[in-house]
Amino acid sequence: MTLLTLTQITRDFHLRGGLFGGRRVLRALDGIDLEIARGETLSLVGESGCGKSTLGRIVAGLQSPSSGEILINGKPALRGKARARQIQIVFQDPFGSLNPKMSVGALIAEPATLHGLVSRRDAPQRVQELMRLVGLRGALAERFPHELSGGQRQRVALARALATEPELIVCDEAVSALDVSVQAQIANLLQDIQKKTGISLLFISHGLSLVRHISHRVAVMYLGRIVEQGEAEQVFANPLHPYTRALISATPEPLPGTGGNRLELEGEIPSPLALPSGCTFRSRCPHATERCAAAQPPLETTGHAAACWHVDSLPEYAPRQTTPPERMRAALDLYRSAAARRTPPLEETIN
Amino acid sequence: MKQMTISKQAGVAAPLFSVENLSVSFATDSGPLLALDDVNLSIHPGETLAVVGESGSGKSVLSLAIMGLLPPTATVKAGHLRYDGRDLAGLDKTARRGMRGKDMAMIFQEPSTALNPVKRIGDQLVEAILLHDAMPKAKAKARAVEALAATGIPSPEVRARAFPHELSGGMRQRALIAMALIHRPRLLIADEPTTALDVTVQAQILDLIRDLGRETGTATIFITHDMGVVAEMADRVAVLYAGRMVETARASDLFTSPEHPYTLGLLGSMPQLNQRGEPMLPISGTVPDLRRMPSGCHFHPRCPFAQERCAEERPGLRALDRGRRSACHFAPLLETLGGQA
C-alpha cells in the first residue's frame, strides 16, 4: 500500500546575483515523482548538491515545494504539527539536534507529550519503552547529550522520532558521521525497528554500500532530478544510467586487489545556476551525443528505469568482483556464530 | 630533486621512517590517559601504509606525534621516531619545524579548516614555497601554478587567484595536496583525506595521491577507518585499537585472512561483506574510555571469542606466517577456534 506519493515536486531558491546582478533562480528540485510504500525503505542517493536533502526536508514538511503535490495515504499532506506526527526526520549530527540542557529522558518524552500521546505521569514508562526499542540502557535517561557517544546520541534522536509513532522517518545522512562499527549497529537497529513497527524509511545517503544493504528501492539523484530508480537489487546488479554506474564503480570495496580500473567520472558536478541543456549529466558523461544536449530524457516511474537517451545502446554492465576470499568468509562466519552464542548478548552487557 | 638514500643492510632496504615502542599519554583532570601504548611501525620509500582505527584508537595522536605537533598536554613516555636513520627525539622545536613541509607533510580531513580563508590559494602556496626555498616571488608564483596543475586542477592560473571558499571541497583538497607535496616530502601523512568528500571525488583524490606517490617515491601513511579505502590504497596495514596495535599485515594478506577479532569486526561492519537484508555483523558495545581501560586485552569486553585468559593476560603482537602479526591469544583464528563452530 502506498504511504507517500510525490508528484512533480519542484523547488526553486531565489538568489540575489551580487550588487548589480539582479535575481537568479536556482532550481534545486525539478519535477520529482516518487512513491513510498508502507513498511518500505526507499533510499535517495547522490552527491552533494543533488537535492536529496531538500527533498527529505520537503517530505518532512520542514520546507514547502515551489510546486507539485504531496499525498499521504492518498490525501493531501497536512502541515505543521499534524505532519510532524506522521513524518519525523533524523539528521546527521545528533549533537546539533539535541538540546544540550535536557536530559535524555526529557528529550525522548518531549515529542510524546507535545503531541498528547502520553500524560506526564505515564511519560517515564513510555520513555523506558522507547529506550528499549532503540537499544539504550534505561539508566541513561538521567544523562545529558554531552555524556553520550555519537552512536548513543543517534539512538536518542531515533527514540525521539519514534515517540510520535510516525508512519515514515526520514533519515538524512543519519549514520554518515558515525564510526563504521556504529554505523552497522544503527543500520541493524533501523531494520529491526522496521520489522517490529512496519514503519517506512526514507534513507538519504551519499554512500552506496549501506544503501545497497538496507533498501528495498533506490532512487539516484543528479542535479535535482531522479536519473534512475528501481528495486535495490536490480539497480545494483544492473545499473542502467551512466551516473549510477560511475557511483558504484567509485565506491571502494573491502576486498583484496580491488584498486584501480574504475569508471572515472570527469570533472565535478556543474553549478546548479548554469545547468547544461537537455540531460544535465551530459557534461560528465562518456556516452553523451548531440541528442543529449537537445532534450531532457524522460524517466519511467514504474519498474527499474533510467533517464538516459542511450539506455538501450550502452555497453553491457560488467559487475565488479564482490565475493570475499574463502578464508575471510570462514573467519567472518566464525565471528558471527561466536557472537550469536554469547549469552547474554554482548551488546546488552556493554551499553 | 632529492636523492633516494636507501642503505642496504643484509639485502633489506632500511625503512625511511619508523616508530619504535612509542607511548604517549595525556594529562587530564581525571588522571593520565594513555593514548598510545607501545606502538611500532615502519615504512619504506614508495610504500603506502594504512593505519586503521575508529574514534579513540589513537590514530590521530599517532599522526601528530610523527609530525611533531603534539599539544603541550601530551607526554611522550617512551619510544623513538627515526627518520632516514636519524633519531628525532634529539631534535629541538626549530629543527622539527624545519622538517615539516620539507621532509614530511600532512593532508587533513577537512581542507577548509587547513587553508587560510582570507588568503588566495596561490599566495598560500607561495608562502609554503618560500618557507623552505629562497627564490624570487615571480618564480615561486609560477611554481605554485605548476603545483596546482599537477594535481589536475583545471585552469590553475585562475584558481591560484581564488579564495578557498570559491573552490569546491574536492578542489580545496587538491590545493592542499599541492601544498603538502610542494617540497617533494619523502613522507606524507594523509589523515582521512577523503572522508568529507563525495564518492566520485574521493575516487579522483585517491588516484591522485597514489599517482603522485608513485611518481615521487613518497612514502604515505594513510589514516582511515574505511576498509574499502584501505583495500584500494594500502600496501601494508596496521590496525589500532584503544591505543595499541592489534594487527599488522600486507594488505593482500589482511583482506584474505584477517587474524585479529577487531579486524574481523571492522570487516563485518562493512555492508558489502554481509548478505543483503540480513542483520550486519557489527562490533558490539563502544570503544572503551581511555581512562578506564579494560584489563588484559583491551578488546576483550567486545570480543565474541573472549575467554577468562583475555581479561588477565595482555596479548603481545605475535609474529605469524608471511610477516603478519596479531595481538590475539588465539591467532591464527581459524586453526585455533575453527573446531568450536
Q: CA neighbours within 13 Å on the CB side: how many for B42?
A: 13
A80 torsion bin: left (phi>0), alpha (psi -120 to 50), beta (else): left
The residue assigned the cell 554469547 is A342
Q: Is the pLDDT of residue B11 over 50?
A: no
- Rounded distance, CA B225 to CA B59, Å? 10
DSSP conformation letters of B211-257:
HHHHHHT-EEEEEES-HHHHHHH-SEEEEEETTEEEEEEEHHHHTTS
Considering the entire predicted model, what is its pTM? 0.89
Categorize the per-residue pLDDT at A143 as very low, low, confident or very high, splitting at 50, 70 and 90: very high
Residue B282 or residue B259, greater confidence: B259
Contact at CB, B337 and A334, closer than 8 angstroms: yes
Sheet holding A217-222, edge to edge: A87-90, A168-172, A200-205, A41-45, A217-222, A225-231, A305-306
Question: Distances from the Cα of A280 to the Cαs of A33, A49, A93, A293, B189, in angstroms?
Answer: 17, 13, 31, 8, 37
Q: DSSP class of residue A257? A: T
Contact at CB, B279 and A341, closer than 8 angstroms: no
Considering only CB atoms, which chain B residues are within 8 Å of A150? 55
Res. A33: pLDDT tops 90? yes
User: In one letter, which amino acid is A55?
Assistant: L
Interval B178-195: pLDDT, tens: 999 899 999 999 998 888
pLDDT of residue B66: 94
Within 8 A by CB and 6+ apart from A263, the residues are A245, A246, A249, A250
Q: Which of B251, B231, B265, B245 minimizes the C-alpha distance to B319?
A: B245
Give the integer Cα–Cα distance in Å for A221 and A1.
Answer: 24
Average pLDDT over residues A115-119: 92
- Judge whether B340 and B260 are in contact, CB under 8 Å: no
Whether residues B338 and A334 touch (CB distance < 8 A) is answered with yes
Minimal C-alpha gap between A315 and chain B (Å): 20
Q: Identify the CA nearest to B208 among candidates B122, B149, B129, B142.
A: B149
CB-nearest partner of A347 from B264, B267, B284: B284
**pLDDT higher than threshold 50 for residue B341:** no
Kindly state the cell numbers that stand for B310: 583475555
Flag if B304 and A264 touch (Cβ within 8 Å): no
Contact of A222 with A50, CB cutoff 8 Å: yes
Distance from CA of B99 to the nearest CA of A (A): 32
What's the gap in Å between the CA of A349 and the closest CA on chain B? 8
Residues from chain B that touch A151, judged by Cβ atoms under 8 A, are: 286
pLDDT for residue B4: 43
Please give the residue that has the higher pLDDT: either B112 or B249. Answer: B249
Mean pLDDT, chain A, whole residue set: 90
For an interface test with A, give the residue of B284, B292, B337 to mutate (most A CBs within 10 A). Answer: B284
Summarize pLDDT for B44-85 with one digit per residue, the tens.
Answer: 999 999 999 988 899 989 999 999 999 999 999 899 999 998
% of residues, chain A, pLDDT over 90: 69
Among chain A residues, the shortest Cα distance to B251 is held by: A256
**Which A residues, 74 through 133, put their C-beta within 8 Å of a C-beta on chain B?**
none
Q: Which of A284, A303, A296, A321 is nearest to A218 (CA)?
A: A303
Domains of chain A, each with CATH number or no CATH: 2-222 (3.40.50.300)
Among the partner residues A149, A191, A232, nearest to B279 by beta-carbon distance: A191
Q: Choose the weakest-confidence range: A43-47, A59-63, B44-48, B214-218.
A: B214-218
- CB nearest to A180's CB, from B232, B269, B337: B269
- In Å, how far are A23, A208, B25, B144, B226 from A252, measured between CA atoms? 41, 10, 34, 31, 9
- Per-residue pLDDT, A17: 62
pLDDT digits (tens, 9 = 90+) for A88-114: 999 987 778 899 999 999 999 999 999
pLDDT tens across B1-10, in order? 344 444 434 4
| CB burial readout B25-38, b (16+ within 10 A) else e | bbeeeeeebbbbbb
Give the Å distances, CA to CA, from B242 to A305, B190, B245: 47, 20, 8
Cell 579564495 locates to B163
Residues B261-296: b if buried by 16+ CB within 10 A, e if exposed: bbbbbbbbbbbbbbeeeebbbbbbbbbbebeeebeb
pLDDT of residue A324 exceeding 50, the answer is yes
Q: What is the reported pLDDT for B8?
A: 38
Cell of A60: 518532512
**Stronger pLDDT, A322 or B287, i.e. the higher one:** B287
Q: What is the pLDDT of residues B248-257, one digit of tens each?
A: 999 999 999 9
C-alpha cell at A298: 524522460
Residue B200 to residue A265, Cβ atoms within 8 A: yes
For residues B288 and B275, what is the distance between their CA atoms, to the nearest angstrom? 29
pLDDT in tens, B51-62: 999 888 999 899
Please give the C-alpha separations between residue A17 and each of A24, A26, A51, A77, A160, in angstroms, as whole numbers. 6, 11, 21, 34, 40
| Nearest residue on chain A to B337, alpha-carbon basis | A334
Average the pLDDT over A307-315 and give the result: 94
Is B122 a residue whose pLDDT tops 90?
A: yes
pLDDT of A259 strictly over 80: no
Better-scored residue on pLDDT, A271 or A2: A2
Cβ–Cβ of A268/B170 closer than 8 Å? yes
The label of the residue with cell 624545519 reads: B98
Place of cell 519503552: A129
Cβ–Cβ below 8 Å for B201 and A179: no
Cβ proximity of B84 and B17 under 8 Å: yes
* pLDDT above 70: residue B128: yes
Spatial distance between the Cα atoms of B264 and A324, rounded to a whole number of angstroms:
13
| Average pLDDT score over residue span A158-184 | 92
Question: A294 and chain B: CB distance < 8 Å anywhere?
Answer: no
How high does pLDDT run on average in chain B? 89
What is the structure's pLDDT at A53?
A: 93
Q: What is the pLDDT of residue A343?
A: 62
Those residues with Cβ within 8 angstroms of residue B138's Cβ, 6 or more apart along the chain or in another chain = none
A183 and chain B: CB distance < 8 Å anywhere? yes
Is A150 in CB contact (< 8 Å) with chain B?
yes
B-chain CB neighbours of A206 within 8 Å are 198-199
Q: Order of strands, edge to edge, in the sheet holding B31-43?
A: B31-43, B17-28, B74-83, B86-87
Decide if pLDDT at A135 tops 70: yes
Q: What pLDDT is attached to residue B16?
A: 95
**Cα–Cα distance, A24 to A29 (Å, whole number):** 15
The four Cα atoms B267, B271, B272, B277 give a dihedral, to 10 degrees, of 130
User: pLDDT tens-digit profile of B22-36?
Assistant: 999 998 888 888 999
Domain ranges of chain B: 265-341
Answer yes or no: do A47 and B171 touch at CB < 8 A: no
pLDDT the model gives residue A18? 62
> How many A×B Cβ pairs under 8 Å?
203
**CB contacts, 8 Å: A18 with chain B:** none
Nearest to A328 among B200, B256, B338 (CB): B256
Residue A44 pairs in a beta bridge with A204, A219
**Do strands B187-191 and B17-28 pair parallel, antiparallel, or not at all (unpaired)?**
unpaired
pLDDT for position B287 = 82
Overall residue count recorded for chain B in this entry? 341
More confident residue, B199 or B299: B299
Nearest to A9 by CA among A169, A226, A212: A226
Cell of A163: 515517540
Q: Of A97, A16, A109, A92, give the one whose Cα is nearest residue A56.
A: A92
**Nearest partner of A267 among A44, A36, A8, A47, judged by Cα:** A47
